[in-house]
């Protein structure tokens, strides 16, 4: 289902791009073009779902202008819903002008009053970046920022290609307590992977590099999912994710990542409370 949606949005992107004037193709200056692009994307991805303003529910942080469109910092934070019986289950990431605009679905632990996540994305052109929070009861709330940055999807990989492939799948974990929240910790997951997206040229041979990227990340704590991601080519090289999760008294934090070549990478650490601080045991 998710793969099919990616292909649909990919095809939609190109059909829209070549149906408008060249100077409007990337909607860098035309508000009318940008709104038309989102209208079509919304219908394709979310059908007739009513997407409400996310003010007071989800906040999105991005730079107004990206110094490097291949590594654009992005973070979002949610707030507790007024309905005590409802909670946010997913956050959808949409990057309007990317080759595959529907860029990912994040899922989180269900017992968090406030979700926080940070990562890095690629931008193909000046674009609206959107995060849409989905609740258990089926409501949708959106926050969106316009970010000036271009060329990130076609930018050549940083580093030696052979070394990138050889080191693919190496995972590092860092954890720390969240101040003033004894039951919440912050994890930083760093995955070595070139994230070749099929749109980049080898800087030495100028030949196109075959796509090779991580499409699934799952993080469990004591065998319960605390964060997962179904994604595509919009996540930057060497994916990094920083997020909060309920910690309890300690336990096993495990990361599993899958790429489109069928590789499965995993890494786990045992966490323990020491002097009221969460630490990786036996460090």
Last residue within a domain, chosen from 155, 173, 196: 155
Q: Is the dihedral of CA 37, 41, 47, 53 positive or negative?
A: negative
Task: Provide the CATH number for the domain around residue 270.
Answer: 2.60.40.10
Task: State pLDDT tens for residues 214-268.
Answer: 999 999 999 999 999 999 899 999 999 999 998 877 889 999 999 999 999 999 9
pLDDT surpasses 70 at 189: yes
Distance in angstroms (rounded) separating the CA atoms of residues 147 and 197: 21
Task: Provide the CATH number for the domain around residue 48.
Answer: 2.60.40.2470
Least confident of 75-84, 170-179, 269-278: 269-278
Facing residues of 134 across strands?
Answer: 90, 140
Are 146 and 167 in the same domain? no
Distances (CA, A) of 1 to 8, 71, 100, 140: 11, 28, 15, 20
Number of compact structural domains in the chain: 2
pTM of the model: 0.88
User: Which strand ranges, in their side-by-side order, compose the sheet holding 72-78?
Assistant: 58-61, 72-78, 116-121, 240-246, 181-191, 171-178
Last residue within a domain, chosen from 136, 155, 174: 155
Distance in angstroms (rounded) separating the CA atoms of residues 103 and 183: 31
Domain containing residue 66: 1-155
pLDDT surpasses 80 at 27: no
Q: What is the pLDDT of residue 247?
A: 81
Are 214 and 147 in the same domain? no
Question: What token pair was written down for 236?
Answer: 């930057």
Look at strands 102-108 and 224-231 and give their pairing: antiparallel
Least confident of 3-17, 71-85, 102-116, 257-271: 3-17
Q: Which long-range contacts (C-beta less than 8 Å, at least 24 apart) are formed by 162-168? A: 164/192, 164/193, 164/194, 164/237, 165/194, 165/212, 167/192, 168/192, 168/193, 168/194, 168/259, 168/263, 168/265
Distance in angstroms (rounded) separating the CA atoms of residues 256 and 254: 7
């Amino acid at each position: 289902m998710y793969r099919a949606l990616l292909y649909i949005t990919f095809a939609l992107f190109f059909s829209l791009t070549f149906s408008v004037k060249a100077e409007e193709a990337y909607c860098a200056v035309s508000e009318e073009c940008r709104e038309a692009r989102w209208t079509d994307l919304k219908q394709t991805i979310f059908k007739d779902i009513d997407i409400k303003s996310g003010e007071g529910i989800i906040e999105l942080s991005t730079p107004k202008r990206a110094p490097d469109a291949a590594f654009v910092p992005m973070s979002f934070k949610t707030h507790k819903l007024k309905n005590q019986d409802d909670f946010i289950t997913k956050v959808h990431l949409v990057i309007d002008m990317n080759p595959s605009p529907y860029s990912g679905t994040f899922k989180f632990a269900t017992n968090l009053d406030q979700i926080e996540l940070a990562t890095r994305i690629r931008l193909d052109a000046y674009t609206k970046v959107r995060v849409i929070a989905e609740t258990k009861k089926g409501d949708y709330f959106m926050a969106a920022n316009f970010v000036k940055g271009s060329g990130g999807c076609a930018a050549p990989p940083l580093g030696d290609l052979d070394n990138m492939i050889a080191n693919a799948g190496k995972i590092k974990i860092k954890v720390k307590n969240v101040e003033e929240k004894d039951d919440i910790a912050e994890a930083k997951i760093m995955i070595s992977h070139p994230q070749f997206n099929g749109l980049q040229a080898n800087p030495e041979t100028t030949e196109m590099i075959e796509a090779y990227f991580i499409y699934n990340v799952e993080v469990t704590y004591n065998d319960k999912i605390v964060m997962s991601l179904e994604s595509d080519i919009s996540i930057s090289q060497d994916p990094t994710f920083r997020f909060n999760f309920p910690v309890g008294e300690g336990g096993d934090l495990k990361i599993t990542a899958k790429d489109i070549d069928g590789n499965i990478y995993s890494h786990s650490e045992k966490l323990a409370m020491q002097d009221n601080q969460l630490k990786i045991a036996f460090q």
